[in-house]
């Protein structure tokens, strides 16, 4: 009956509890893991880059969402497609909850629905693939800060991307507000895992001075773009040294 009504997803909401005004599935992760590398979902060749690689979705949505995306496979219970995703992720230990984009100029209900999608996929990854899922901090603007943390009250770890939020002053200001809001409202928080493409971690640690001052650990794992930018920076420095 559930499949006839396109309600296959309730198999995963029924195995957790729902929180807040929008009945978002509970999301938590204990401070028991160590991550040293972020592999994008599209970078299957990097899934086992290290023993502690974490797969993340910090890229355009069409890389992981769509007609044949993971959420649709769960929603419509496409068994063959689900098996394909299970095989793809079979050796993955850690995943950041999918980062479905939130936008300030689209209806609020769509932004909240995208957060709901992320929670459904997260539960599937946990229950069907036995993968540790790290809650993700994502927002369209300040009006979504309370919603983004709904159901995450007990988590000790979160992940956040700073890509695209540092050079533009307004985006940087919003990022800093999101970091502070998260720090002040997740009372069990022990650690931020930060996806950064900056060539120097000094930039990131400066952005996260507030949670650091509260005793929260800031971890900046490597990733493909970060490695590329570090290499470019070193090449420029070597060129200047030769002059």
**Cα–Cα distance measured from residue 225 to residue 43, given in angstroms and rounded to the nearest whole number:** 12
- Reference 224, options 49, 81, 16, 22; nearest CA is 49
Structural domains of the chain sorted by starting position, each given as residue range(s) with its CATH number in brackets? 19-238 (3.20.20)
State the average pLDDT over residues 9-27.
95
Place of tokens 């002053």: 169
- Reference 24, options 110, 118, 98; nearest CA is 118
pLDDT tier, 7 (very low <50, low <70, confident <90, very high otherwise): confident
pLDDT tier, 241 (very low <50, low <70, confident <90, very high otherwise): low
Residue 194 contacts residue 157 (beta carbons within 8 Å): no
Parallel/antiparallel/unpaired status of strands 53-56 and 37-40? parallel
- Reference 140, options 172, 173, 174; nearest CA is 174
State the average pLDDT over residues 166-191.
96
Percent of the chain residues past pLDDT 70, beyond the cut: 98
Place of tokens 């929180």: 19
**Cα–Cα distance measured from residue 20 to residue 25, given in angstroms and rounded to the nearest whole number:** 9
State the average pLDDT over residues 35-48.
98
**Cα–Cα distance measured from residue 79 to residue 151, given in angstroms and rounded to the nearest whole number:** 29
Residue 195 pLDDT > 60: yes
Nearest-10 crossing angle of helices 79-88, 108-129: 70
Residue 191 pLDDT > 60: yes
Alpha carbon 174 to its chain's center: 17
**Cα–Cα distance measured from residue 94 to residue 231, given in angstroms and rounded to the nearest whole number:** 26
**Each residue's pLDDT tens digit, 96-148:** 999 999 988 899 999 999 999 999 999 999 999 999 999 999 999 999 999 99
pLDDT of residue 205: 96
State the average pLDDT over residues 86-98.
98
3-state secondary structure 202-216: HHHHHHCHHHHHCCC
Against a cut of 0.75, is the pTM above it? yes
pLDDT tier, 155 (very low <50, low <70, confident <90, very high otherwise): very high
């Amino acid at each position: 009956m559930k499949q006839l009504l396109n309600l296959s997803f309730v198999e995963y909401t029924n195995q957790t509890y729902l929180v807040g005004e929008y009945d978002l599935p509970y999301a938590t992760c204990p401070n028991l893991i160590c991550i040293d590398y972020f592999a994008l979902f599209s970078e299957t060749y990097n899934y086992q880059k290290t023993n502690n690689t974490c797969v993340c979705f910090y890229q355009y949505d069409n890389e992981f969402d769509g007609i044949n995306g993971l959420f649709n496979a769960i929603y419509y219970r496409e068994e063959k497609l689900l098996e394909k995703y299970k095989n793809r992720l079979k050796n993955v230990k850690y995943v950041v909850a999918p980062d479905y984009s939130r936008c300030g100029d689209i209806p609020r209900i769509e932004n909240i629905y995208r957060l709901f999608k992320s929670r459904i996929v997260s539960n599937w990854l946990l229950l069907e693939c036995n993968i540790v899922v790290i809650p993700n901090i994502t927002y369209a603007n300040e009006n979504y800060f309370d919603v983004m943390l709904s159901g995450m009250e007990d988590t000790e770890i979160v992940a956040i991307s700073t890509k695209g939020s540092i050079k533009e002053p307004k985006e940087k200001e919003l990022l800093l507000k999101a970091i502070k809001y998260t720090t002040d409202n997740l009372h069990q928080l022990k650690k931020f895992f930060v996806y950064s493409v900056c060539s120097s971690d000094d930039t990131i640690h400066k952005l996260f001075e507030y949670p650091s001052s509260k005793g929260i650990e800031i971890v900046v794992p490597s990733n493909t773009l970060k490695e590329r930018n570090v290499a470019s920076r070193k090449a420029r420095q070597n060129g200047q040294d030769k002059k």
